């Protein structure tokens, strides 16, 4: 059993079971009640949707590793940790399929308006009128913003639907899809834009009013990345005024207290940051996060370092 580990944040029951089988974790409440424990903490386990502050890291003078469950690490002050000699690990690859599946599911759900179709049947509106026509996926030009591990899996899954794939990322990839050298160019040439880039300062608001205008009134936007990558005010205005046709969102600027204006829009399909939230994937993610901790304390090496 691993000891001297601080767990930051609450985990779903399935993940917590895995933690308690392999780790005897302290919580932040334990540290508040017994401040002397801060000296003993050598490892930290957390999830990618929980912010780790520099202040917390500074308060743990013997911290050596932060093991995060999730691939994004925009809420961890990574360079601050690195400067203090602290290793940071995440859980890439193992969640690719789950996130890609949710992305495709949300996209089809949005185009076919499954969220309003469900309400249409439940509220017996079907007895009074025909359900309005929706839009199909076949033949659409899909632009993927961020052609990394998950972006590629989304592209591979979209091809059999008869779509044309293009992408924008910092570098061209050895992939058969068209590389757009700018995001504006990608947006201009896409019916659907999918964001799957990391969050953080570099990508903040990269999807703004200009990009949404380029996507146009027949265009759809899917955000499976981070809320910070889109200027949410511009997105809301574009959705409210019909400047774009619709959006499917898994992530938001302020989660879970999302902007209430989204709730009034039928052309938006909402998901509660659930990209990796399947039983199978979350189990694998927490196992990998703990294996990183175990490997680090046994050998000094980890399987999936952030840097
Ligand atoms: P990844 O393999 O690192 O891929 C990220 C891609 O984004 C790379 O293609 C990278 O380009 C590109 N990129 C990075 N900064 C960019 C910039 N400033 N401009 C343009 N492109 C940029 O990461 P991944 O495993 O695919 O995960 C991607 C992100 O998805 C995560 O960071 C996370 O935020 C999000 N995510 C969300 C969920 C969810 O539940 N909704 C779950 C998992 C992940 P280069 O390769 O050219 O450098």
Tens-place pLDDT, residues 83-131: 999 999 999 999 999 999 999 999 999 999 999 999 999 999 999 999 9
- Threshold 0.85, pTM exceeds: yes
Length of the chain: 307
| pLDDT at residue 233, rounded to an integer | 98
**Contact residues for 140 (Cβ-Cβ < 8 A; gap 6+):** 163, 164, 191, 192
Pick from 25, 19, 22: which is nearest to 40 by CA? Answer: 25
| pLDDT at residue 283, rounded to an integer | 97
Q: Where are the domains of the chain?
A: 2-94+279-299, 96-270
Contact 63, 57 (CB under 8 A): yes
For residue 242, the number of C-alpha atoms closer than 13 Å in the C-beta half-sphere is 0
| pLDDT at residue 141, rounded to an integer | 98
Tell me if 152 CB under 6 Å of ligand 1.
no
- Among the options 18, 47, 153, 226, which is catalytic? 226
Name the CATH topology of 2-94+279-299: Rossmann fold (3.40.50)
Say which CATH superfamily domain 96-270 falls into: NAD(P)-binding Rossmann-like Domain (3.40.50.720)
Residues of the chain with pLDDT under 70: none
Tell me, yes or no, if 255 is annotated catalytic. yes
| pLDDT at residue 288, rounded to an integer | 98
Let me know if the fold of 2-94+279-299 is the same as that of 96-270.
yes
Tell me if 200 CB under 6 Å of ligand 1.
no
| pLDDT at residue 198, rounded to an integer | 98
Tell me, yes or no, if 233 is annotated catalytic. no
| pLDDT at residue 42, rounded to an integer | 98
Cα 198 to ligand 1 centroid, rounded to whole Å = 4
| pLDDT at residue 234, rounded to an integer | 98
């Amino acid at each position: 059993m691993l000891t001297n580990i601080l767990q930051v944040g609450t985990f779903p029951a399935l993940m917590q079971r895995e933690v308690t089988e392999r780790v005897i974790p302290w919580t932040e409440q334990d540290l508040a009640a017994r401040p002397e424990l801060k000296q003993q903490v050598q490892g930290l386990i957390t999830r990618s949707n929980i912010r780790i502050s520099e202040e917390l890291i500074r308060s743990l003078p013997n911290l050596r590793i932060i093991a995060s469950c999730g691939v994004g690490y925009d809420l961890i002050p990574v360079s601050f940790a690195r400067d203090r000699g602290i290793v940071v690990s995440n859980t890439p690859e193992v969640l690719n399929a789950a996130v890609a599946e949710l992305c495709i599911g949300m996209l089809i759900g949005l185009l076919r308006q499954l969220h309003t179709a469900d309400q249409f049947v439940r509220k017996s509106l079907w007895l009074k009128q025909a359900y309005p026509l929706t839009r199909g996926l076949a033949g659409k030009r899909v632009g993927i913003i961020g052609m990394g591990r998950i972006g590629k899996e989304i592209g591979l899954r979209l091809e059999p639907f008869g779509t044309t794939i293009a992408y924008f990322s910092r570098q061209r990839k050895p992939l058969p899809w068209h590389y757009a050298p700018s995001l504006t160019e990608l947006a201009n040439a896409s019916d659907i834009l999918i964001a799957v880039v990391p969050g953080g300062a570099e990508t903040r608001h990269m999807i703004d009013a200009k990009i949404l205008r380029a996507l146009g009134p027949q265009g759809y936007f899917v955000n499976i990345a981070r809320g910070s990558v889109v200027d949410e005010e511009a997105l809301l205005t574009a959705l409210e005024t019909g400047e774009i046709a619709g959006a499917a969102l898994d992530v938001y600027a302020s989660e879970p207290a999302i902007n209430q204006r989204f709730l009034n829009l039928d052309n938006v399909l909402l998901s509660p940051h659930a990209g990796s939230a399947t039983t199978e994937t979350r189990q694998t993610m927490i196992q990998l996060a703990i294996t990183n901790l175990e490997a680090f304390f046994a050998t000094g090496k980890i399987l999936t370092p952030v840097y």
